[in-house]
Amino acid sequence: MNNSTPIRIALWSGPRNISTAMMRSWGNRSDTAVVDEPFYAFYLKRTGKNHPGIMEIVADNEPDVCKIIDRLTGPIPGGRRLFYQKQMTHHLLPEVDRKWLSAVTNCFLIRDPAEVITSYTKKNNDPGLDDLGFVQQAEIFDWVRQHSGKIAPVVDARDVLRDPERMLRLLCKAVGVEFDDAMLSWPPGLRETDGIWAKYWYDEVAKSTSFQPYRPKNERVPEHLRDMHDRCRECYEQLFQYRLL
């Protein structure tokens, strides 16, 4: 393992997952720079989705997709060796050329769709399929497999919460970096690297100092979302079979 080779890690997740906690974990390494949802402003500007703080987000962040990709594949901020990119699958709209994915090390964070949907509906009780990111996650996963000839690393949120150290060790090995104990805990509070949207979404993670223990969710998916859940589950299971164990 060459400790001087720059590595750009793009972790692809949908919403209502543990993606921000994973960003905290990687961001607590001294050798790692992080970026928070770099395509968010582009996504909001293109779709007009009425998310909290939309005007502020678009004004404060780069909406030009070419410039975003240049940033993600260019020099790593602060001269760090690792560049951890917290990516949302639904932000990578179909019109964005996928070729840049070959310049980063892609990995995938999945979560059971029943848990995602029941969490999401607390904020929005009528999501569209595209809002949940499962179809896009499967598409990105397939693109990476077809163009690299390899199965990208997949981790399930439940596994991470049940045994953070074991799963982080497996993920580090899979992406070619050494595990660091600093990934297991972090100081509370927000970060300069958090998106401007943190004040709307990051209350819980701002209070945290480590991954929270897994607690089973026994909430039922609303009847009007059952068909959507079934489609999401097809995509989830496509990746689930490859998860690190």
Smallest CA-to-CA distance from 14 within 236, 171, 240, 243 is with: 236
The CA-based angle 125-118-186, given to 5 degrees, is 115
- Over residues 65-100, the pLDDT tens digits come to 999 999 999 999 999 999 999 999 999 999 999 999
pLDDT at 3 > cutoff 80:
no
Smallest CA-to-CA distance from 123 within 232, 15, 13 is with: 15
As a whole-number percent, the residues of the chain with pLDDT over 70 amount to 99
- Over residues 216-239, the pLDDT tens digits come to 988 999 999 999 999 999 999 999
- Report, in angstroms and rounded to the nearest whole number, the Rg of the chain calculated over CA atoms: 17
* Three-state secondary structure of the chain: CCCCCCEEEEEEECCCCCHHHHHHHHHCCCCEEEEECCCHHHHHHHHCCCCCCHHHHHHHCCCCHHHHHHHHHCCCHHHCCEEEEEEEHHHCCCCCCHHHHHHCEEEEEECCHHHHHHHHCCCCCCCCHHHHCHHHHHHHHHHHHHHHCCCCCEEEHHHHHHCHHHHHHHHHHHHCCCCCHHHHCCCCCCCCCCCCCHHHHCHHHHHCCCCCCCCCCCCCCCHHHHHHHHHHHHHHHHHHCCECC
What confidence tier does 143 reach under pLDDT thresholds 50, 70, 90?
Answer: very high
pLDDT at 1 > cutoff 60:
no
196: left (phi over 0), alpha (psi -120 to 50) or beta: alpha
pLDDT at 136 > cutoff 80:
yes
pLDDT at 142 > cutoff 90:
yes
Confidence at residue 217, expressed as pLDDT on a 0 to 100 scale: 85
Residue 39 in tokens: 């395509």
Taking the C-alpha atoms of residue 176 and residue 1, their distance in angstroms, rounded to an integer, is: 7
What confidence tier does 33 reach under pLDDT thresholds 50, 70, 90?
Answer: very high
The CA-based angle 243-162-124, given to 5 degrees, is 80
- Over residues 171-222, the pLDDT tens digits come to 999 999 999 999 999 999 999 999 999 999 999 999 999 999 999 988 999 9
Confidence at residue 123, expressed as pLDDT on a 0 to 100 scale: 86
